[in-house]
Amino acid sequence: MKYDELNHFSHPQHKLRFEYSELPFKCDGCREVGIGSRFKCSLCDFDLHTHCSAAAAAIPLPHPFYPKCVFYFLPRPPGDSPRYCNACNRDIAGFVYHCRMCGFDLHPCCAALPHVLHADGDLRLLLRRLASAPCHRCGRKGRSWSYRSECRKYELHVACVMEILVDSWREIYYGGGGEGKKMRVSDIRVPSIRGAEISHHRSGKGKGKVKRCCELAAMAVQFVISAVLGDPTAVIAGVVSSFLFR
């Protein structure tokens, strides 16, 4: 088998091939949105996030946020009751890491979120189980896991990032001049980011410092989106993050 091909239990009919595309897709594993890297069956239009393609039932997954839990991969949520991801607060509709003892659930992509993002020399983002400051998008604290900068000026819920991805997926998919016509991410003009909406600095501290604050906030959002996507591609994260500031 070639290194860029994959035999996967969820699609035994054909091999999946790794590809990178700026077209949005819906993962047939976890049923969440994706853009960028994926494993795809071109014959069946079947797609998997790279994290979903690597999920394995036989390997227990620990997580530092839940030291008493052991998560096991399941191809579908257990039981008949609705379930939600403890990281992003979205419904579980497909692939899931589930702790039988505690009943906690994690999407494969959420389970793989890095705990530290090195966004810039001036900025590091830390994954936290609970937000300690108002989120830049929704203005609330407790909602889901969040990324917070070490300087404590930037906080963004993982749940809000997922909402941004869903909103951007719809606009990219349906914004190409007719329903069902997809657009490539690079074809979309990135709107300018209005710094007043994301800056925590007072205007009296100088335009240069406010501008730098806005740049760091925008960078923080892009890195969080890249982490959630499992894809560090700057153009995708930049376009998707633009939906946050409209």
Domain boundaries of the chain, sorted by first residue: 5-53, 55-112, 116-245
pLDDT digits (tens, 9 = 90+) for 43-77: 988 999 988 998 877 788 999 999 999 999 999 99
pLDDT digits (tens, 9 = 90+) for 161-191: 888 777 766 666 665 544 555 555 555 433 3
Q: Can you give the pLDDT at residue 227?
A: 74
Q: Is the pLDDT of residue 232 over 70?
A: no
Rounded Cα–Cα distance for residues 31 and 92 (Å): 8
What value, to the nearest 5°, has the Cα angle with vertex 173 and ends 26 and 7? 25
Phi, psi of 66, deg, nearest 5: -130, 75
Amino acid identity of 37?
Answer: S
Q: Can you give the pLDDT at residue 198?
A: 33
Q: Give the pTM.
A: 0.78
Starting at the edge strand that comes first in sequence, how are the strands of the sheet with 105-106 ordered?
Answer: 72-74, 96-98, 105-106
pLDDT digits (tens, 9 = 90+) for 127-153: 999 888 888 888 888 778 998 888 887
Rounded Cα–Cα distance for residues 196 and 15 (Å): 49
pLDDT digits (tens, 9 = 90+) for 201-230: 334 444 555 456 556 666 677 777 777 766
Element (H, E) at 73: strand 72-74
In b/e form, how buried is each residue of 190-222, taking b as 16+ CB within 10 angstroms? eeebebeebbeeeeeeeeeebeebbebbbbbbb
Q: Can you give the pLDDT at residue 20?
A: 84
- Residues linked to residue 40 through DSSP beta bridges, in sequence order: 17, 47
Q: Can you give the pLDDT at residue 203?
A: 41
Q: Can you give the pLDDT at residue 12?
A: 92
* 55-112 CATH choice from 3.40.50, 3.30.1760, 3.30.60, 3.30.300: 3.30.60
What value, to the nearest 5°, has the Cα angle with vertex 194 and ends 188 and 196? 165
